[in-house]
Homo-oligomer: A and B are copies of this chain.
Amino acid sequence: MTHHRFHPTTYHNTIGSHAPVLHIASGDQVTTTTVDSGGADATGQQITPRGNPQTGPFYIDGAEPGDVLALRFDRIWPNRRVGWSGTLVASNAVEAGYLAEQAAKATLQTGRLPESPRGRWELDLDAGTATLAEPETALGHFTLPLAPMLGCFGVAPPGGQAISTATSATHGGNMDYRVFGTGVVIYFPVAVPGALLHVGDGHATQGDGEIVGTGIEISMDVTFTTWIHRKQQPITWPRAEDDTYLMAVGNVRPLDEALQHATTELLRWLQEDYGLDAIAASTLLGQCVRYDIGNVFDPAYTVVCKVEKRLLPKRG
């Protein structure tokens, strides 16, 4: 159980079978840093091209296709005092035409993110808060508690793919789910030897759906631990758990299908590891399931299907 301290010097804008930056053993812990989604580091300077640049990949010795890579976020915390955000709800999240008056010209020329003032947030890392410094709005100097998380992270996908960090799929990627912060364990299906873990895209906090196109974007100090699990049957989608919930993740457009994949993955988990049959798993989820929406902004949307662990039988 070694602890590694890794200082990144290169970053990737795809998640793929890139040359590993560090080999680690199952059970090892790594402390490293991530730049923000715009490529800026702890000093606030842009040091690499924008678009959720990833630290890594980390090669976990012994991981083989079909295994599960467990990733625990031991600590995610901002390493600078200024973050930024979008300030206008993106077209994906509003009825077509609404907000058009504000958004028309920008959207027509530049794509999906309407032109609007960039939100600047000042962080008090001792108090654990972020305060809106600009623009001036009717909210005044609005303060929120920090809830730091990573928006984009995952393992190399199969078949030689290099998948843009703008999107997500079975390998993880840009899921933008506010719950993926300190203390959560995420499970990924390993597709290539070494798994090749990438991490990046920190948010000081984020709402459901990432509907302004961003959380509060910031560079992070990240400490994580990984293990390899051998499973009888490979998992299909990322799974996760924290103290309260079991979670399964579907990453695809549209929302209907993301919800379907997440539900199917959780049903399988309950049957594979908790001794439930289809009727039992269905009856339980029917009255007790909860859904969260990770994002409705990225090329693939993210839906999380979850159930409280206290409702479950002992894991088999």
A275 touches B138 (CB 8 A): yes
Chain B residues with CB under 8 A of A119: 283, 286
Which of B112, B259, B282 contacts A296 (CB under 8 A)?
Answer: B259
Q: A97-B108, A101-B105, A291-B208 are in contact. Are A279 and B164 (CB under 8 A)?
A: no
Give the interface centre of A107, A116, A205, A301 by most chain B CB atoms within 10 Å.
A107
Chain B residues with CB under 8 A of A279: 87-88, 116-117, 135, 137
Copies of this chain present in the complex amount to 4
**A261 interfacial contact with B, CB 8 Å:** yes
**A22 interfacial contact with B, CB 8 Å:** no
Q: A87-B283, A95-B260 are in contact. Are A144 and B208 (CB under 8 A)?
A: no
Q: Which of A187-204 contact B (CB under 8 A)?
A: none
B253 touches A253 (CB 8 A): yes
Chain B residues with CB under 8 A of A210: 286
* Cα A251 to Cα B98 with chains together (Å): 17
Which of B135, B163, B282 contacts A87 (CB under 8 A)?
Answer: B282
Chain B residues with CB under 8 A of A291: 208-209, 292-293
B256 touches A255 (CB 8 A): yes
Chain B residues with CB under 8 A of A47: none
Question: Which stretch from A34-42, A211-219, A224-232 is at the chain B interface?
Answer: A211-219
* Cα A292 to Cα B281 with chains together (Å): 21
Chain B residues with CB under 8 A of A296: 256, 259
B260 touches A139 (CB 8 A): no
Q: Which of A248-298 contact B (CB under 8 A)?
A: 252-257, 259-261, 263-264, 267, 275-293, 296
Chain A residues with a Cβ under 8 A of chain B: 12-14, 16, 51, 85-89, 91-105, 107-108, 112, 114, 116-117, 119, 132, 135, 137-139, 142, 144, 159-164, 205-212, 214-216, 252-257, 259-261, 263-264, 267, 275-293, 296, 301, 313
Given contacts A88-B282, A100-B103, A291-B293, 20 further A-B contacts (CB under 8 A): A87-B279, A89-B286, A91-B96, A95-B263, A97-B100, A99-B278, A138-B280, A138-B313, A161-B164, A205-B287, A207-B285, A207-B289, A208-B290, A212-B282, A212-B287, A216-B287, A253-B257, A255-B256, A256-B256, A291-B292
